[in-house]
Structure 1
Amino acid sequence: MSRQTPPRLLELAMQSLLSDEALAIAALEELPIELFPPLFMEAFARKCRKTLQALVQAWPFTCLPLGALMKDQQPQQENFEAVLSGLDTLLAQEVRPRRWELQVLDLRKDAHQDFWAVWSGASPGEHTLMEAEEEQPLKKRRMDRCRTGAKQPAPTLEVLIDLCLKEGSRDKLLATLMKKVRQEKGLHLCCKKLRIFAVSMKNIKMILKMVQLDSVQDLEVNCTWKLSTLGDFALHLGQMANLRRLLLFHIHVSSYPSLEEEEQCVSQFAAQFPSLHHLEELYLDSVSFLQGRLSQMLRYLQSPLEILSIANCMLSESDLVYLSQCPIISQLKELGLSGVSLTSISPEPLQVLVERASATLQYLDLDECGMGDAQFTAILPALSHCFQLTTFSFCGNPITTSMLESLLLHTIGLSKLSHVLYPAPLESYEDTQGTLHLGKLAQLHARLKQMLRDSGCKDVVWFSANPCPRCGDRTFYDPEPFLCPC
């Protein structure tokens, strides 16, 4: 017969205190700050609305990580409304409560996961999120306010949230929050991660009007937008001055705009890039207007990128020449050109591009670029200088066995290279339908692994076949096949 763990004294104390909400609220004035988090957790679990309101108004930390307590499978509307109601009352007061230090209401569910466990005593460790009231920064701020005797400004509060905008999604908590932000000037809505999926521009504008756009650091736009819609969105992008990561997917040019209209939309969007002083990562996937315009898009960027990924886009040779000479690639850690057809493009621009990024490049993706032996031969000297390279993938390129062996010899000196995905060479296929001869592939696999062993390198060799015509997934071999779901 199993024994249940008896409740700890702290849990019993919280339960006893909340048995009388009026007593619990009256006790907040003298309650040690170490007891605020466990009391909040207990009140949250019991849905003690009045106690939650009072706790928010007396919260002695700079941040309340509410999102970490809000689970998807449990209805939290009542608790959420209680917290917002407490903030309403607080922000309406001209005189701040003595113990109140709250500056940030964090609604992100993945942030500060350990805070509540540490403060409640369920998990040992240091509370790195917020420091106690007696520590110097908060103490000094409170003493400064008392010393100056100056009139305190109206209290304001930042609300941190990750936004995911989807058509048809009904988020009652978000709707409640937006209503409060519209009503209450003291609430500043901040969003570090913003995801936009298939939602009308009207709704996007309505929501972004309430967001402090300079708080956005990570933006993903995954919509089948027309170019004109991207032009409408451009002015919002220009206000995201602290953006560090931008992902743009599925922007296509519709058939009706004239060349002048198309050029105007691209210029309107590209003109926002000078405002993005902190941009470090740029991903462009299935963006149809890039061909012949890459210089127009990238020339406004002020500082080098760490990650540049251009996938499933059409590029001209002039685009690649510009990219190889562009200042923003001088400190690249990751370069991706997956799905960009380089079949008819001279290999020299790619050679220069890899050479210029060789000092910092850690990840290189050349999957499905249509590169043959001649093009890979041209970049081998530059590739052999990428001493920081850890990952190299070039699946889906029609190259021969001799080219694979030559590439292996050129990259053996790259001591950090530990993850390479090779395409199955042309000789491994039995027919034009993509049927692999597993015996030939196994022989090549063994030969490459032996070459690596003889050189004192790791002997991991992964091959990839052409994508499955049904599901699009690849089959990998090491040397036995890891089959796709079909």
Structure 2
Amino acid sequence: MGQTTLYQHYLEPVLLRLQLVTTPPHTVSVFQRPSLPATDMVPSLVSLCAREVVSDHGSSPSWLSCVPRELYRPLLEAAFAHCRPLAVGELVQRWPERTLSIGGRRKSGQAPPNRLCIQALLLAVVRGLTDKRCRLQVLDLCGLQCDEGRLEDSMGGWSLTVALCSTLLQARAAASRGHRDCERERKRGLQMERERDSAVKRDRGLESRRGGTEGEDAGKMECRSNGGEESMVQARVRPEEETVRGVRRRMELQRRNEPQQNSPSTSSPDWNQSVVVRVRADLFINARSWERVRGALSLPGPLRLYCRYLRVEELPAPSVASLLELLPKDGLLGLDIRYSSLGVPGLALLLPLLEPFPLLHSLRLHYCNLDLQRTQPSQQGALQEMFSGLGALKRLRRLSLTALRLPGHLRLLLSSLSQPLEVLELPYLSLTPADLAYLSCSPHASSLRELDLSENRLDVSSVPSLRRLLSQAEPCLAQLSLCGCGLSDSLLGALLPSLSRCRTLRTLRLALNPLTRTGLVSLAWTAVGIPSLRLLLYPSPLEEYEPGLPPLPSSAQLLDWPLMEGSEVSSLTVTQLEEVLLAKGRQHDLLMTSDLLKYSTDLAVED
């Protein structure tokens, strides 16, 4: 099927259905002129034509032979969007460019790639290692995983990590089989060479014995024979040929010993295997997948795995340390450790291992069993090692510590950093007024873009420090979270003037605070006065709860206490908030919600 036939089968029916027959020729002759860049065409037309092409898998051998390289990308996007794993595999196996990037940040409403398509992609990468048409050298899968759990047929971070490591092992096994096949061919050639040498030696032995028994008569007969035969016999016994055979024999012995010296089971793992494709991805590792990931990273192969963001769960400190030692040092941007019993000694072990990663700028430690409220032997020395290891991270910009319980140690922790932070998350840290006082005067205050102080109990003594902190951060602060901080109407009222001056604030989270409906309306008036604000997560007012709450309930009590079932109480709150939005004309660009589970986090990072 030629290019004209492809046009007739795919492009022309699409144009007829769209009534675009009058479109100028340069926008529709994609298959007729392969040199035309795809960017010169209408994107919707390209996408529609690509969908028609990949939908007919029976004709793929025809259009793959003549499709221009500029159309590989829209064809692959159409194959992913409409779940055509066979087309995905065929396109990736002969990918014509050095780089292939799949994933990244998806557009609003765009579904994540299908699991079958991702598996077809990985299998095609292995097949492409032996396909001369494939030019792939860098495969970028960062952001490909879907961790929201919205779709059953999508692939999460853990599944993608396991699939990637299985692909690395398959590629290494295929390369090992090819290495063994080459070794068998080499040995077969040496065997044939030895058989030829043995045949020559047997001929020489027969000739010498024949000459000894026949005596002079044989010699006379040879003298009367043809001179060409005599020259042939003399050529076989030249001393130069004996020297060549000796060198060949020595080379044969050396080659025979080489596989034993360079065996992959010895200490030298570099056995003539070069990296063909570099794979970049975000890895999610736990106790079930740790062995497989370690096996995929420990030995060389044609695929090399590079990690952008590493997330580990339920792993002890030595296991995390072994992973850090195996990962390539360039490319790691962030480390996220969760639900691991590290303690102060574990962090003191891990933090120095992060220094060789030059691009690391994000460190998250969630529920890692670090409790400085309990004094333990040799804890002070481990603390000094931990702080010095943290200070060695020269490019650190994000620090997230959840439930580590570090009361009174915030100064020692943050003063060890060499550069100001841009993102600081300290929920459930049991911060004291002295900690907040230091934070408000620290070099980090004026550079913070995101600040999370949730579940740290605030009182009257903390308000001056918090107001000073907001005044320092107001030029750049974009996200602020004060959920579950015990903010009553009076405490929040003292903070509202400082909040109103944060002109770059986009997200404000104040859920699980004991506010009345009056305090909530005052908060809404302040929120609509911040032009950059896009999301306000407010608490349900105390009037909506069933009777029996204490005067100043905690966040845990507000979370567990039942709300009134009648819709009239909650509708009154919604009506008052809508009136505030309408009064300022913010009903379309500001979302106010009390739903802790369903509010859109994309609003916090949208440009």
* TM-score w.r.t. length of structure 2: 0.53
Residue aligned with 1:415, SS: coil
- Contact 2:122/2:167, CA 8 A, preserved across alignment: no
Distance 1:426 1:246, change over 3 A: same
Q: Distance in 2 between matches of 1:87 and 1:358?
A: 62
With 209-218 and 393-402 compared, the bigger mean Cα shift is at 209-218
Residue 461 (structure 1) shift: 6.4
1:181-228 CA-partner distances (Å, limit 9, x unpaired): 4xx8x9976422212211233333333222234532110011232222
The question of 1:390 aligning with 2:497 is answered: no
Residue 45 (structure 1) shift: 8.6
The question of 1:250 aligning with 2:367 is answered: yes
The question of 1:262 aligning with 2:391 is answered: no
Match for 1:317: what amino acid? Answer: P
- Contact 1:304/1:328, CA 8 A, preserved across alignment: yes
The question of 1:239 aligning with 2:330 is answered: no
With 348-357 and 46-55 compared, the bigger mean Cα shift is at 46-55
Distance 1:88 1:329, change over 3 A: farther
Residue aligned with 1:367, SS: coil
The question of 1:451 aligning with 2:580 is answered: yes
Distance 1:87 1:275, change over 3 A: farther
Counterpart for residue 311 of structure 2 = 195
With 384-393 and 407-416 compared, the bigger mean Cα shift is at 407-416
Point out where structure 1 has 5 or more consecutive residues left out of the alignment: 15-33, 90-153, 466-472, 477-486
- Contact 1:242/1:277, CA 8 A, preserved across alignment: no
Distance 1:322 1:214, change over 3 A: farther
Distance 1:88 1:351, change over 3 A: farther
Q: Distance in 2 between matches of 1:295 and 1:266?
A: 13
Q: 2:395 aligns with which of 260, 278, 282?
A: 278
Distance 1:46 1:366, change over 3 A: closer
Residue 348 (structure 1) shift: 0.8
State the Cα RMSD in Å.
4.3
- Contact 2:96/2:134, CA 8 A, preserved across alignment: no
Distance 1:262 1:10, change over 3 A: farther
The question of 1:178 aligning with 2:302 is answered: no
- Contact 2:452/2:480, CA 8 A, preserved across alignment: yes
- Report percent identity of matched pairs: 24
1:455-485 CA-partner distances (Å, limit 9, x unpaired): 22227664538xxxxxxx7799xxxxxxxxx
Residue 326 (structure 1) shift: 1.3
The question of 1:294 aligning with 2:352 is answered: no
The question of 1:8 aligning with 2:135 is answered: no
Q: 1:375 aligns with which of 488, 491, 496?
A: 491
Counterpart for residue 310 of structure 1 = 426
Q: Distance in 2 between matches of 1:48 and 1:187?
A: 13
Residue 241 (structure 1) shift: 3.2
Q: Distance in 2 between matches of 1:296 and 1:263?
A: 12
Q: Distance in 2 between matches of 1:204 and 1:475?
A: 33
1:406-425 CA-partner distances (Å, limit 9, x unpaired): 22223332112221121122
Q: Distance in 1 between matches of 2:319 and 2:122?
A: 36
Q: Distance in 1 between matches of 2:418 and 2:179?
A: 42
Residue aligned with 2:454, SS: coil
Q: Distance in 2 between matches of 1:258 and 1:274?
A: 23
Q: Distance in 1 between matches of 2:93 and 2:285?
A: 37
Residue 156 (structure 1) shift: 7.0
Residue aligned with 2:399, SS: strand
Q: Distance in 1 between matches of 2:97 and 2:170?
A: 14
- Contact 1:49/1:79, CA 8 A, preserved across alignment: no
Q: Distance in 1 between matches of 2:370 and 2:417?
A: 23
Residue aligned with 2:537, SS: strand
Q: How does 1:52-63 map to 2 (within 5 A)?
A: 52-55=128-131, 60=135, 62-63=137-138
Distance 1:198 1:390, change over 3 A: same
Residue 385 (structure 1) shift: 0.7
Residue aligned with 1:194, SS: strand
With 440-449 and 355-364 compared, the bigger mean Cα shift is at 440-449
Q: How does 1:440-479 map to 2 (within 5 A)?
A: 440-458=569-587, 462=592, 464=594
Q: Distance in 1 between matches of 2:576 and 2:125?
A: 70
Residue 329 (structure 1) shift: 2.6
Higher strand share: 1
Of structures 1 and 2, the larger Rg is shown by 2
Q: Distance in 2 between matches of 1:334 and 1:46?
A: 37
Residue aligned with 2:533, SS: coil
Counterpart for residue 229 of structure 1 = 346
Counterpart for residue 128 of structure 1 = none
Point out where structure 2 has 5 or more consecutive residues left out of the alignment: 1-54, 67-91, 101-119, 145-158, 181-272, 550-560, 600-607
Distance 1:82 1:355, change over 3 A: same
Q: Distance in 2 between matches of 1:346 and 1:413?
A: 25
Counterpart for residue 172 of structure 2 = 81
Residue 426 (structure 1) shift: 2.2
- Contact 2:351/2:390, CA 8 A, preserved across alignment: no
Counterpart for residue 164 of structure 1 = 284
Q: Distance in 2 between matches of 1:303 and 1:256?
A: 28
- Contact 2:423/2:449, CA 8 A, preserved across alignment: yes
Residue aligned with 2:462, SS: coil
Higher helix share: 2
Residue 66 (structure 1) shift: 8.9
Counterpart for residue 204 of structure 1 = 320
- Contact 2:407/2:435, CA 8 A, preserved across alignment: yes
- Contact 2:93/2:128, CA 8 A, preserved across alignment: no
Residue 436 (structure 1) shift: 3.2
Q: How does 1:282-431 map to 2 (within 5 A)?
A: 282-288=399-405, 290-343=406-459, 345-431=461-547
Distance 1:234 1:446, change over 3 A: same
Residue 305 (structure 1) shift: 2.5
Distance 1:162 1:227, change over 3 A: same
Q: Distance in 1 between matches of 2:173 and 2:418?
A: 45
Distance 1:407 1:160, change over 3 A: closer
1:86-132 CA-partner distances (Å, limit 9, x unpaired): 9989xxxxxxxxxxxxxxxxxxxxxxxxxxxxxxxxxxxxxxxxxxx
Residue aligned with 1:452, SS: helix
Q: Distance in 2 between matches of 1:207 and 1:156?
A: 20
Residue aligned with 1:346, SS: helix
Residue 402 (structure 1) shift: 2.4
Counterpart for residue 37 of structure 2 = none
Q: Distance in 1 between matches of 2:94 and 2:386?
A: 48
Distance 1:81 1:423, change over 3 A: same
- In the comparison of the two structures, how many residue pairs are matched? 378
- Contact 2:372/2:407, CA 8 A, preserved across alignment: no
Q: Distance in 2 between matches of 1:48 and 1:372?
A: 59
Q: How does 1:58-69 map to 2 (within 5 A)?
A: 60=135, 62-64=137-139
- Contact 2:539/2:594, CA 8 A, preserved across alignment: yes
Distance 1:304 1:263, change over 3 A: same
Q: Distance in 1 between matches of 2:493 and 2:519?
A: 8
